[in-house]
């Protein structure tokens, strides 16, 4: 009797050891990396193929191809995700040519490609362009009217998403384009309790060129010797001469408090060794600018530098799949004067754990938009996010003739044809 | 969570005791009312009534209501931003308000004294982040705090040691550094530099110092101050005055050290670090790759004592050799031969005596460029290759030991280091003072110098000019005579105490 019991206990213990061995250590990487599990689970490596079907509308090329032909700089700036998403979907196995079996509908309209001479996108024509595209798909295909866009998704990577303005006050005034009220928005902007963040939209990282970043990798045994690193503007004298508007004063606060601190390698001078320096730093500051998000987050993750996010209420990319609190350090804007105390009082074990999470290749891959697409990259995370919303609720489907959207809402200028 | 549990415990206890207390006090109060005067009785009655009311309310609500009122009345007025207070209230008012959730995903989750920022209430639908002009927050003393800089450096150290653990050498082997030396003027210079280099090596180091002429206090003092684990071995012969003999003696001293390693079965990688050479840190990381015997490229700094008094012509520059000794590889990365030092261009100008002001030439292949696994020297070792001669057999017949290749039967098994010899990680240099140079013992000047001569340029303000000019004359004489005693002691503070210069050896 005792022997049997002992045998069972032994077997149980053995199972526990084996289970621990599988779960705790990633066998390929040993103790170097840690598995990432966000609130949605270990979903970074999920394969969306087979879980959803996407139908891509065929729009006239004036909405997409002609725009790139006019200005090819759109392929390199941080809003290029909209263009690459289109290209990815065209050749992806989730694409279906039969709209009847599609779960999601994608409209390829490049609203962020009207660039100034300096390369900054002008959003003034974007609402009309989007409206014109929607009118087209509503008239040519029946699927828009079926749900008034509830099973459609749009990529709107500009500063404040579908509010289509770069100034926050104006963007809040405009609000999200009324026609997109029911659609799912895929955008880089994310801030809680903000007019321009629609509920259950998918937040994506801004586009950063993967080849350029991988060309600047240094060997991993290069010792990290910079404590805090940041390169960028602290004051935007052209657009904010008085001061206090840009970055809600947070960047200026960083400068004024830490400009003579040897631990903080911060300046506005952008060196040629920017990527290499990030790989030699332990913390990289990612403060808000005019909008809360920034490509620095992507760069920090790719180069293994712990991101210090200074942006109140920000919603980070793929927040349901990536546990950002475990990976990065969040500092409230009011606490910026104490940034050095905050960062130096983090226990070293916590810092090492964050570095291990960052070293996980699936984490780095999830932030990038490589061409051609690779498994686990940002395109797949977007599809995973869309797949997690399926199946569509029955209430989304409207009765024929039932209208929910107001086609004449919004500023008068938006109603003009594009 | 814990706080609320404690609270409920208190509540239960409070609730349990309350009725008893209330009952007793009411009874007592009632008795008291009748006994005392009317004024006192009304006051006490009032307080009694208030007390009773509070008790009843507590009973109804289920927690200590009075304490909460007290707390709310006397806590700081500014409740909103100071979140710890806010959190405290939240846990007490268990039933009334919807308590905030955890201080959410917004804040840093480490235990610290910094209050987390204001948590957006569940009921708030608009963001507390306000658009518009904000102040730029600057703290009263916006300068680095030394305690924090220290903490940051500790963090950096920890991160770096973790990196080294993950990406650096796994299972590092200890390093046995063999250095032949002898006491002379420049010994302090050389040994100090080498000691500092060895202290920086991130692996366990044992410094085996062989001293020609027996153990001396000079060397012992330098070694004990070095804070490196060392082994001081005497060598009977004294160092000869000619360079060619010196090279041979050094080779014999190194063999002596190798015999000690063999006797004691010391484990590790043997590096031949001459005291005047300069080593880079990458060398010590690179040698960890050695399996049995490795060779690195050595930069030869064959310098002449005099500065270049004539410019080298283009042709001469081409004829002068590339000053690197080390392994030469063929295109497939295998050892194909050796780059040795071509001493022909220096033939007429080389130094013969130690301390000459001429170029000191190295041998064809210096010991410094070679690294051995100490197990090669042991009598028996697992996996010891056959292409190694037994150490006892070397140097038996008084043969000349030119380079470590003498230890091998077959030199083709030597492993080239530093990207097949392309990277130069150490430099060979021989610099010695003149043979008759003297230096104070232990580099301590005791007693003070006999003559104190004021500086030439700045005249002493209180000194009369005639004495000053005489002193300048004496100073010039001193320079010519080199520390020899002078009979003219002009300075006021001269002392006749005997020769302050210790004559050493």
With bands split at pLDDT 50, 70 and 90, how would you rate the model's confidence at B34?
A: very low
Question: Shortest CB distance from B134 goes to which of A244, A282, A338?
Answer: A244
Lowest-pLDDT range of A79-83, B30-34, B354-358: B30-34
pTM of the model: 0.64
The count of other CB atoms within 10 Å of the CB of residue A143 is 18
| CA separation, residue A301 to residues A52, A284, B106, B454 (Å) | 29, 10, 19, 64
Strand-strand pairing, B424-428 and B278-279: antiparallel
User: Are A342 and B112 within 8 A, CB to CB?
Assistant: yes
pLDDT score recorded for residue B51: 86
Residue with the bigger pLDDT between B395 and B164: it is B164
Q: Distance, in angstroms, between A302 CA and closest chain B CA?
A: 17
The 8-class DSSP code of residue A310 comes to E
Lowest-pLDDT range of A376-390, A400-414, B456-470: B456-470
Closest Cα partner for A189 from A158, A167, A165, A154? A158
Whether the CB of A72 is below 8 Å from some CB of chain B: the reply is no
pLDDT score recorded for residue B74: 55
Whether the CB of B202 is below 8 Å from some CB of chain A: the reply is no
First to last CA, chain B: 80
Average pLDDT over residues B52-73: 70
Closest Cα partner for A229 from A201, A256, A259, A263? A263
| DSSP-assigned letters across all residues of A196-252 | TS-TTPEE-PPP--HHHHHTT---TTSPP-EEEEEES-S--TTT-SSSSSGGGGHHH
Q: Percentage of residues in chain A with pLDDT exceeding 90?
A: 60
Question: Shortest CB distance from A262 goes to which of B114, B144, B159?
Answer: B144
Residue A295 near residue A279, CB atoms below 8 Å: no
pLDDT score recorded for residue B316: 59
* A137 pLDDT more than 80: yes
Whether the CB of A337 is below 8 Å from some CB of chain B: the reply is yes
* B475 pLDDT more than 70: no
> Which residues 6+ apart lie within 8 Å of A306 measured at CB?
A282, A283, A284, A300, A327, A328, A329, A351, A354, A355, A358
The 8-class DSSP code of residue A49 comes to B
* B4 pLDDT more than 60: no
Determine which helix (DSSP H) or strand (DSSP E) holds A169, and give its type and residue range: helix A168-174
* B349 pLDDT more than 90: no
Residue with the bigger pLDDT between B52 and A2: it is B52
* B47 pLDDT more than 70: yes
**What does residue A103 show for φ and ψ, rounded to 5 degrees?**
-90, -35
Q: Which residues of A touch B164 (CB under 8 A)?
A: 221, 223
Residue with the bigger pLDDT between B477 and B173: it is B173
Average pLDDT over residues B21-36: 42
Q: Which residues of B touch A345 (CB under 8 A)?
A: 110, 112, 151
Residue A111 near residue A158, CB atoms below 8 Å: yes
Determine which helix (DSSP H) or strand (DSSP E) holds B474, and give its type and residue range: helix B465-481
Q: Distance, in angstroms, between B334 CA and closest chain A CA?
A: 25
With bands split at pLDDT 50, 70 and 90, how would you rate the model's confidence at A393?
A: confident
> Which residues 6+ apart lie within 8 Å of A290 measured at CB?
A159, A166, A167, A168, A236, A239, A246, A247
pLDDT score recorded for residue B192: 95
* B388 pLDDT more than 50: yes
With bands split at pLDDT 50, 70 and 90, how would you rate the model's confidence at A404?
A: confident
pLDDT score recorded for residue B455: 65
Q: In what order do the strands lie in the sheet with A281-287?
A: A264-267, A226-231, A281-287, A306-310, A329-330
Residue with the bigger pLDDT between B130 and B456: it is B130
Residue of A nearest to B123 (CA): A193
With bands split at pLDDT 50, 70 and 90, how would you rate the model's confidence at A55?
A: very high
Average pLDDT over residues A305-318: 94
Report CA torsion sign: A375, A376, A377, A380.
positive
Written as six digits, the tokens of B487 are 């009979």
Interface test with A, best of B136, B164, B281, B289 (most A CBs within 10 A): B136
Q: What is the pLDDT of residues A332-370, one digit of tens each?
A: 999 999 999 999 999 999 999 999 999 999 999 999 999
Whether the CB of B100 is below 8 Å from some CB of chain A: the reply is no
Residue with the bigger pLDDT between B39 and B494: it is B39
Whether the CB of A260 is below 8 Å from some CB of chain B: the reply is yes
User: Are A348 and B112 within 8 A, CB to CB?
Assistant: no
Which residues, numbered 200 to 229 in chain A, qualify as contacts with chain B under a Cβ-Cβ cut-off of 8 Å?
A: 219-221, 223-225, 227
Q: Distance, in angstroms, between B76 CA and closest chain A CA?
A: 20
Cis peptide before A391 (omega within 30 of 0): yes
Highest mean pLDDT among A71-75, A339-343, B141-145, B396-400: A339-343
pLDDT score recorded for residue B41: 77
Whether the CB of A199 is below 8 Å from some CB of chain B: the reply is no
| DSSP-assigned letters across all residues of B205-270 | EEEEEEEETS--HHHHHHHHHTTS-EEEEEESSPPPSBHHHHHHHHHHHHHHHHHHHHHHT--SEE
Q: Which residues of A touch B82 (CB under 8 A)?
A: none
Which residues, numbered 125 to 144 in chain B, qualify as contacts with chain A under a Cβ-Cβ cut-off of 8 Å?
A: 125-129, 131-139, 142-144
Average pLDDT over residues A266-284: 95
Residue of A nearest to B122 (CA): A193
Task: Give the residue carrying structure tokens 């022909």.
Answer: B344
User: Are A245 and B129 within 8 A, CB to CB?
Assistant: no
ipTM above 0.90, yes or no: no
**What does residue B230 show for φ and ψ, rounded to 5 degrees?**
-130, 165
Residue A265 near residue A305, CB atoms below 8 Å: no
Average pLDDT over residues B288-295: 91
| Cα–Cα distance measured from residue A240 to residue B187, given in angstroms and rounded to the nearest whole number | 65
Q: What is the pLDDT of residues A102-114, one digit of tens each?
A: 999 999 999 999 8
Average pLDDT over residues B165-172: 83
| Cα–Cα distance measured from residue A169 to residue A195, given in angstroms and rounded to the nearest whole number | 11
* A251 pLDDT more than 90: yes
């Amino acid at each position: 009797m005792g022997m049997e019991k002992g045998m069972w206990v032994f077997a149980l213990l053995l199972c526990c050891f084996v289970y621990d061995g599988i779960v705790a250590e990633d066998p390929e990487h040993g103790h170097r990396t840690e598995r990432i599990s966000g609130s949605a689970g270990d979903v970074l490596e999920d394969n969306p193929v087979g879980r959803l079907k996407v139908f891509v509308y065929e729009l006239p090329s004036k909405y997409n191809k002609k725009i790139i032909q006019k200005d090819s700089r759109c392929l390199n700036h941080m809003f290029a995700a909209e263009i690459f998403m289109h290209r990815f979907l065209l050749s992806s196995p989730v694409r279906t040519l039969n709209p009847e079996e599609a779960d999601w509908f994608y409209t390829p309209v490049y609203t962020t490609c009207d660039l100034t001479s300096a390369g900054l996108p002008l959003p003034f024509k974007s609402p009309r362009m989007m409206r014109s595209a929607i009118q087209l798909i509503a008239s040519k295909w029946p699927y828009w009217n079926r749900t008034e866009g509830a099973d459609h998704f749009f990529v709107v990577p500009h500063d404040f998403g579908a509010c289509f303005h770069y100034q926050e006050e104006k963007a809040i005034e405009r609000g999200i384009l009324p026609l997109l009220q029911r659609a799912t928005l895929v955008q880089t902007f994310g801030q809680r309790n903000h007019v321009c963040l629609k509920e259950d939209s998918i937040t994506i990282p801004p586009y950063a060129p993967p080849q350029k970043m991988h060309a600047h990798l240094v060997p991993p045994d290069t010792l990290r010797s910079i404590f805090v690193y940041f390169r960028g503007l602290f004051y935007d004298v052209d657009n904010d001469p008085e001061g206090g508007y840009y970055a809600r004063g947070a960047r200026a606060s960083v400068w004024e408090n830490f400009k003579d601190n040897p631990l903080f390698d911060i300046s506005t001078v952008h060196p040629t060794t920017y990527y290499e320096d990030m790989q030699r730093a332990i913390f990289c500051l990612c403060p808000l600018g005019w909008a809360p998000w920034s490509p620095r987050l992507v760069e920090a993750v790719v180069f293994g530098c712990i991101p210090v996010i200074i942006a109140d209420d920000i919603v980070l990319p793929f927040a349901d799949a990536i546990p950002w609190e475990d990976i990065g350090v969040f500092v409230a804007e009011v606490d910026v004067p104490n940034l050095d105390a905050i960062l130096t009082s983090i226990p070293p074990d916590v810092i090492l754990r964050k570095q291990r999470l960052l070293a996980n290749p699936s984490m780095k891959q999830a932030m990038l938009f490589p061409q051609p697409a690779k498994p686990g990259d940002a395109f797949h995370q977007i599809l995973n996010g869309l797949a997690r919303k399926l199946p569509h609720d029955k209430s989304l489907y409207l009765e024929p003739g039932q209208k929910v959207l107001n086609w004449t809402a919004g500023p008068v200028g938006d109603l003009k044809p594009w | 969570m814990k706080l609320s549990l404690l609270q409920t415990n208190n509540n239960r206890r409070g609730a349990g005791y309350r009725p008893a207390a209330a009952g007793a006090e009411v009874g007592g109060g009632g008795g008291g009312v009748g006994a005392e005067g009317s004024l006192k009785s009304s006051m006490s009655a009032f307080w009694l009534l208030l007390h009773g009311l509070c008790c009843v309310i507590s009973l109804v609500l289920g927690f200590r209501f009075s304490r909460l009122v007290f707390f709310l009345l006397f806590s700081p007025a500014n409740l909103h931003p100071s979140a710890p207070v806010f959190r405290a209230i939240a846990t007490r008012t268990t039933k009334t308000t919807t308590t905030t959730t955890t201080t959410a995903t917004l804040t840093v989750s480490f235990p610290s004294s910094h209050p987390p920022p204001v948590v957006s209430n569940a009921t708030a639908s608009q963001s507390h982040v306000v658009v518009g002009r904000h102040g730029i927050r600057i703290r009263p003393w916006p300068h680095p705090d030394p305690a924090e800089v220290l903490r940051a450096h500790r963090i950096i150290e920890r991160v770096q040691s973790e990196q080294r653990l993950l990406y650096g050498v796994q299972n590092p082997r200890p390093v046995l550094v063999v250095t032949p030396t002898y006491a002379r003027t420049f010994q302090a210079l050389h040994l100090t530099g080498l000691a500092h280099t060895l202290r920086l090596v991130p692996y366990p180091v044992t410094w085996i110092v062989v001293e020609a002429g027996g153990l001396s206090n000079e060397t012992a003092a330098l070694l004990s101050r070095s804070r490196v684990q060392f082994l001081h071995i005497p060598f009977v012969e004294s160092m000869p005055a000619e360079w060619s003999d010196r090279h041979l003696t050094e080779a014999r001293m190194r063999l002596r050290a190798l015999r000690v390693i063999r006797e004691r079965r010391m484990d590790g990688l043997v590096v031949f670090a001459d005291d005047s050479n300069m080593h880079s840190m990458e060398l010590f990381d690179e040698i960890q790759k050695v399996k049995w015997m490795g060779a690195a490229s050595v930069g030869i700094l064959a310098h002449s004592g005099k500065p270049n008094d004539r410019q080298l012509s283009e042709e001469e520059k081409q004829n002068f050799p590339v000053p690197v000794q080390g392994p030469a590889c063929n295109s497939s990365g295998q050892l194909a031969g050796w780059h040795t030092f071509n001493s022909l261009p220096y033939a007429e100008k080389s130094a013969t005596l130690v301390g000459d002001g001429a170029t000191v030439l190295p041998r064809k292949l210096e010991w410094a460029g070679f690294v051995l696994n100490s197990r090669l020297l042991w009598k028996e070792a697992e996996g010891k290759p056959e292409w190694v001669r037994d150490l006892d057999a070397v140097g038996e017949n008084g043969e000349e030991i030119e380079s470590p290749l003498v230890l091998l039967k077959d030199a083709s098994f030597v492993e080239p280091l530093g990207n097949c010899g392309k990277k130069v990680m150490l430099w060979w240099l021989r610099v010695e003072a003149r043979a008759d140079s003297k230096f104070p013992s232990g580099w301590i000047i005791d007693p003070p110098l006999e003559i104190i001569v004021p500086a030439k340029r700045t005249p002493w303000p209180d000194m009369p000019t005639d004495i000053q000019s005489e002193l300048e004359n004496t100073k010039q004489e001193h320079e010519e005579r080199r520390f020899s005693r002078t009979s003219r002691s002009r300075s006021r503070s001269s002392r006749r105490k005997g020769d302050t210069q210790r004559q050493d050896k």
